Structure 1
C-alpha cells in the first residue's frame, strides 16, 4: 500500500504552532532513553522521521528547549509541547512527534531504540528492537522495509 493520504497537519497543545507533513515517514520509532522519558514525561517518546523537504512549520515560531546542544529539540514557546527534533548531523530528516498530528491514530512504532532503558511494563509493538540505536548500516534496510510494511493512515 502506498497511499499515505498526505498532507498531514498538526499543532502543539495550544495551537499557536502548526506544522504540515507533505512526505511519508521514513520510519516510526519509540525511544526509551532517559532523556526522552524525561522530556515526554512518559515511558518513551514517539517519532516519525520525515524527510526534511516534506516538513514545514506553517504557523508560529517554535523555540529550542530540552537539550540545548547540536541536536535541537523544538517546543511551542507558550504551551511547551515538544513538537520535533533536528538530530545533529542528520539534516536529511526531522523527527516529528506524531502525537502533534491532527490524526495520529495510525502511528505504530516500527523500531524501538534504547530498549535497555525500557520500563519493565512497557510494550510498544515495534517490529525491531535495539538496545541503543540501530547500527548505521541497518538504516537503509529498515527504511526500505518500512516503506513496504509500515502503518498507513486509515
Structure 2
C-alpha cells in the first residue's frame, strides 16, 4: 500500500530481481567509502533510505553479497547487481541503491558520507558532507531538513 500515492519500482540489471518502494525516501546520500567504491565500481554509491514498511521484493530472491558483515548487502544471484542494504541495528530502514530504480533522476544526494575516502576528482551536489558517518544524534535533524526541503 503506497503512502500518498508514492510508488516506484526497480530491479537488477537482468531484471530477475525486482522490488517496489511505496514510501518516499527519508534521505538520499552518496557514500564515498572505498567499500562502496569497490561494490559499485564507481566513485561512490547513491542511496535512498526508505522505511522498511515501504519496501518489498516483488520478484526473485536476492542473496547477501559484499563482505557478508553486519550490514547485509543484497544482490541479484544471477547478475550480482547490488540492490539494497539492510543496515545493522537499523531494522526500520532499507538503504536502496537509487540507481537501481527504474527512474532515478530525482534521487540527488542530500548528504555525502566518508568524504575522507573520497576520490579527489569526485563531486556531488550534496548539501551536507561528513568525513565519515554523521553522529547518530545528527540524523533526526538531517531527516527533518530533508523532509522540509523544497516543500517536500
TM range (shorter): over 0.9
CA distance in 1, matches of 2:125, 2:90: 26
Q: Tell whether 2:127 aligns with 1:97.
A: no
Structure 1 segments unaligned to the other structure (5+ residues): none
- In the other structure, the counterpart of 2:63 is 63
- What TM-score results when the alignment is normalised by the length of structure 2? 0.94
User: Closer, same or farther in 2 for the Cα pair 1:132/1:150, shift >3 Å?
Assistant: farther
CA distance in 1, matches of 2:150, 2:53: 20
Structure 2 segments unaligned to the other structure (5+ residues): none
Size of the aligned set, in residue pairs, is 150
1:150 deviation in Å? 6.5
- What TM-score results when the alignment is normalised by the length of structure 1? 0.93
Answer whether contact 1:108 1:151 (CA < 8 A) is retained. no
* Backbone CA RMSD of aligned residues: 1.6
- In the other structure, the counterpart of 2:46 is 46
1:73 deviation in Å? 0.2
1:5 deviation in Å? 5.8
User: Closer, same or farther in 2 for the Cα pair 1:77/1:83, shift >3 Å?
Assistant: same
User: Closer, same or farther in 2 for the Cα pair 1:75/1:151, shift >3 Å?
Assistant: farther
User: SS at the partner of 2:67?
Assistant: strand
* Runs of 4+ displaced beyond 6 Å: none
CA distance in 2, matches of 1:96, 1:67: 17
- In the other structure, the counterpart of 1:8 is 8
- In the other structure, the counterpart of 2:84 is 84
